[in-house]
Structure 1
Amino acid sequence: MIAVGIDVSKSKSTIAILSSDGQILAKPFDVQHTEQSMNDLISQLRSYDDSVKILMEATGHYHLPVLKKFLETDMFVSVINPYLIKKYGDGEMRRSKTDKKDALRIATYVLEKSYSLVSFSSREQKYSDLKFLSAQYNQRISTKVKNRVYLGNILDETMPGIEKILNTNNQKPEKNLFFLFIRKYKSFDSIKAMGQKRFFNSYSKFAGKAGCRDYQAKCLRIYELASNSITTRGSDYYTVLAQEQCLDLVIQSHVAATEIITQMRSIAETLPEYSVLHSMHGVGDRLAPRIIAEIGDVRRFTSGKALNAYAGNDAPPYQSGQFESQNRHISKRGNPALRKVCYEVMQSLKMHKPQGDPVYLFIHKKEQEGKPLNVAKMAGVNKFLRIYYARVKELDK
Structure 2
Amino acid sequence: MRVIGYELRKLLHWKKLLIVGAVWVIIYQLFMSFYFEYFPNGSEGYEFDAAVEMVSDYGPKLDDEELKQFVAAFEARQHVFAEQIKDDARFQEAGVATFEEYVHHDSQLHQPSELRSYAQDFGKGALRDLLGELYAKRYILEWMEYSADTERFSLFGTAQQQALQRIVEEQQYRTILPEQVMQYFKMTHKYTTAAILIGVVVLTLPIHIGDRRRGMLQVQYTSRLGRRLYWRKLAAAMIGTAAWTTVALGVLFALLAQHDISMFMQGTLNSALMAGNYWLNLTLAQYMFLAVGCTYALAFGVCLLTVWLSRMIESYPVLIGMLVPLLFIVLTVGFNALLDRLLSLYDPWWRSAAGYALLSLSALALALWRGRREQRLDIRG
TM-score where L is the length of structure 1:
0.28
More helix by share: 2
| Larger RCO (alpha carbons 8 Å, 6+ apart) | 2
More strand by share: 1
